[in-house]
């Protein structure tokens, strides 16, 4: 029987307010560029300047060089994928059942009307607009720091054609990925990239490989009854949220650009039978890998075990450096890491109030990053039953159930790899899965203790967190602002129960009859923080607790 996770920790952040802010992302300002290292195929072919003989001998350069200012010498390649993973022998781009392969070759379908660049990822601007707290190590910009492109490139026609799917650059073989999955708990059989094209892999100056994927770029063999398009409304949401999640310190795919056309796309936005005309859009999104649990499930389901082993070994070799692909227990090691990182990811979601909305196995990354932003949402009033997906009638993916869904999905992953395991390995992986709840609770506890500014360990920490969440739920207090205002208010103000008007979320909770009891317990716990001060506490909590958007 699957162990359910009933720990009463269900929390979230602010809702993203999207209108009119997108245009601010397109900023064209001078860029101070660092020197680029020599890059192989699928990279930027850039000139290296050496300032002195010593630098030449050390193999690096201290002189400044410019990022690629055009796409002329900037290349991506599909070779890394298709050299190992088989391609569908059928070349036609029509909907069909696909077998014994990982990818189908499928060209994007260009828009018929004019195309506009709406946004490129300019992280410093994004962070300012969303008022996100700075998280160390997550401030890189997609175009400059990941794709080695100067922002001026986004002004060129070549760039517009690339990110809209109109132009196929040298080295690119557009691919649609075949995968299956469990949707809302039921096996859905073949799914696949129905409106996405993986246009290649880029290796940047840091030696990192990034897979570039266009979303909304037209039909593929996996489109089923869809038109292969995305609309501006959903594309804006994905662009903003994936970048916001990154700057909140949460593993995620990234968004590089967003273009919109005048092509008409019809959508039933509220699933009520009323379709409306919207504008077609394409997001260029990137990730270290787009393989997901469903990538393995489809192979196991159809008994393609040799291909399952090939794909697993490829994923381990490329993305799990701590696992030796030559070791017989490599799949056990792989599974252990995925279980641990999935538990951490969902705990991070909860700490910022993120509800994915569609936690199907085809939307769960093998690298444990957040992918496939659909009907996601950020909870405002604290409510563990919050559901952002209006089509989720049974509330399967409510925010309070995400940890349980994580375990369900990991169990499906285990079932997929089981045919490759011997009896001893099956026992080990089953034990690893049983440890998932403890891993989740441990990380959740760490995150919420940080949100409350607690240092060290005391026996009552879990109760203190749960007590506050109970008060928030009963008063319908804003989750994000409650924690943010706790990071700004002084201990003396709390002790006197003198809540200034600007701390409106705390004033809402203070109406609860048990609020003074919680405050007393909280202040007593803060006294146990060794070598701490109120100013240090507030500084720590400010970093851990984002601000509301305007």
Per-position b or e across 101-121, b if 16+ CB within 10 A of its CB: bbbbbbbbbbbeeebebbbbb
Percent of the chain topping pLDDT 90: 81
Q: What does the alpha-carbon distance between residue 361 and residue 185 come to, in Å, rounded to a whole number? A: 9
Calculate mean pLDDT across residues 209-221. Answer: 98
Q: What does the alpha-carbon distance between residue 429 and residue 339 come to, in Å, rounded to a whole number? A: 10
Q: CB under 8 Å to 123, separation ≥6 — which residues? A: 139, 140, 141, 142, 243, 247
Among 16-25, 136-145, 183-192, the least confident range: 16-25
Q: What does the alpha-carbon distance between residue 315 and residue 224 come to, in Å, rounded to a whole number? A: 27
Sorting pLDDT into bands at 50, 70 and 90, what band is 268?
A: confident
DSSP structure class, residue 529: S
Q: CB under 8 Å to 21, separation ≥6 — which residues? A: 129
Question: Mean pLDDT, the chain, as a whole number?
Answer: 87
CA pseudo-torsion sign 401, 346, 301, 334 = negative
Helix (H) or strand (E) holding 183: strand 182-183
Does 63 score more than 50 pLDDT? no
Which residues are annotated as catalytic? 362
Structural contact between residues 173 and 156, judged by C-beta atoms closer than 8 angstroms: no
DSSP structure class, residue 422: -
Sorting pLDDT into bands at 50, 70 and 90, what band is 141?
A: confident
Q: What does the alpha-carbon distance between residue 458 and residue 118 come to, in Å, rounded to a whole number? A: 50
What residues form DSSP beta bridges with 149? 68
**Given this model, what pLDDT does residue 44 score?**
55
Among 33-42, 132-141, 416-425, the least confident range: 33-42
Among 238-252, 263-277, 432-446, the least confident range: 263-277
Does 146 score more than 80 pLDDT? yes
Among 139-153, 191-205, 221-235, 467-481, the least confident range: 139-153
Chain Cα centroid distance, residue 110: 27
Helix (H) or strand (E) holding 266: strand 254-267
**Given this model, what pLDDT does residue 195 score?**
98
In degrees, rounded to 5, the angle at the alpha carbon of residue 212 between the alpha carbons of residues 287 and 143 is 85
Structural contact between residues 299 and 307, judged by C-beta atoms closer than 8 angstroms: yes
User: What ranges in 398-478 are assigned the alpha helix state H?
Assistant: 402-417, 423-434, 436-451, 461-475
Sorting pLDDT into bands at 50, 70 and 90, what band is 136?
A: low
What tens digit of pLDDT does each residue of 321-361 get?
999 999 999 999 999 999 999 999 999 999 999 999 999 99
Sorting pLDDT into bands at 50, 70 and 90, what band is 120?
A: very high
CA dihedral in degrees (61, 66, 68, 69; nearest 10)? Answer: -160
Structural contact between residues 253 and 238, judged by C-beta atoms closer than 8 angstroms: no
What tens digit of pLDDT does each residue of 475-494 get?
999 999 999 999 999 999 99
């Amino acid at each position: 029987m699957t162990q359910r996770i009933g720990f009463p920790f269900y929390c979230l952040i602010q809702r993203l307010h999207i209108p009119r802010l997108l245009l601010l992302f397109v900023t064209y300002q001078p860029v101070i560029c660092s020197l680029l290292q020599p890059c192989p195929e699928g990279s930027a072919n850039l000139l290296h300047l050496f300032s002195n003989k010593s630098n030449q001998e050390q193999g690096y350069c201290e002189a400044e060089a410019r990022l690629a200012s055009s796409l002329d010498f900037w290349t991506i390649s599909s070779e890394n994928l298709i050299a190992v993973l088989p391609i569908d022998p059928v070349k036609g781009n029509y909907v069909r059942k696909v077998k014994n392969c990982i990818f189908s070759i499928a060209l994007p379908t260009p828009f018929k009307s004019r195309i506009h660049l709406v946004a490129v990822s300019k992280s410093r601007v994004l962070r300012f607009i969303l008022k996100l707290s700075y998280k160390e190590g997550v401030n890189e910009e997609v175009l400059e720091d990941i794709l080695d492109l100067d922002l001026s490139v986004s002004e060129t026609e070549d760039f517009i054609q690339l990110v809209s799917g109109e132009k196929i650059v040298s080295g690119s073989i557009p691919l649609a990925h075949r995968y299956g999955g469990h949707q809302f708990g039921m096996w859905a059989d073949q799914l696949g990239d129905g409106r996405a094209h993986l246009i290649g892999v880029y290796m940047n100056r840091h030696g990192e490989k990034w897979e570039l994927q266009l979303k909304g770029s037209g039909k593929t063999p996996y489109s089923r009854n869809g038109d292969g398009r995305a609309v501006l409304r959903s594309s804006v949401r994905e662009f903003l949220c994936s970048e916001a999640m990154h700057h909140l310190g949460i593993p995620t795919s990234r968004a590089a650009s967003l273009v919109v056309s005048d092509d008409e796309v019809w959508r039933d936005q509220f699933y009520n039978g009323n379709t409306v005309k919207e504008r077609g859009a394409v997001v260029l999104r990137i990730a270290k890998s787009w393989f997901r649990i469903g990538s393995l499930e489809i192979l196991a389901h159809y008994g393609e075990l040799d291909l399952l082993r090939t794909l697993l070994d490829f994923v381990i070799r490329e993305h799990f450096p701590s696992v030796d692909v030559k070791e017989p227990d490599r799949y056990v090691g792989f599974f252990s890491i995925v279980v641990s990182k999935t538990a951490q990811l969902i705990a991070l979601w909860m700490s910022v109030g993120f509800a994915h909305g569609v936690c199907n196995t085809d939307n769960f990354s093998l690298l444990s990053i957040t992918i496939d932003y659909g009907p996601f949402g950020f909870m405002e009033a604290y409510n563990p039953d919050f559901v952002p997906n209006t089509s989720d009638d049974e509330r399967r993916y409510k925010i309070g159930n995400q940890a349980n869904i994580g375990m369900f999905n990991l169990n499906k992953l285990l079932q997929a790899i089981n045919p490759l395991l011997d009896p001893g390995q099956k026992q080990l992986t089953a034990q690893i899965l049983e440890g998932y709840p403890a891993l989740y609770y441990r990380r959740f506890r760490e995150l919420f203790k940080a949100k409350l500014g607690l240092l060290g360990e005391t026996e009552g920490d879990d109760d203190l967190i749960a007590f506050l969440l109970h008060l928030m739920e009963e008063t319908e207090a804003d989750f994000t602002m409650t924690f943010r205002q706790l990071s700004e208010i002084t201990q003396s103000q709390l002790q006197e129960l003198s809540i200034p008007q600007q701390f409106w979320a705390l004033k809402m909770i203070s109406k609860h009859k048990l609020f003074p009891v919680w405050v007393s317990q909280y202040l007593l716990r803060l006294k146990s923080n060794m070598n701490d001060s109120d100013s240090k506490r507030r500084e720590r909590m400010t970093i851990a607790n984002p601000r509301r958007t305007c």
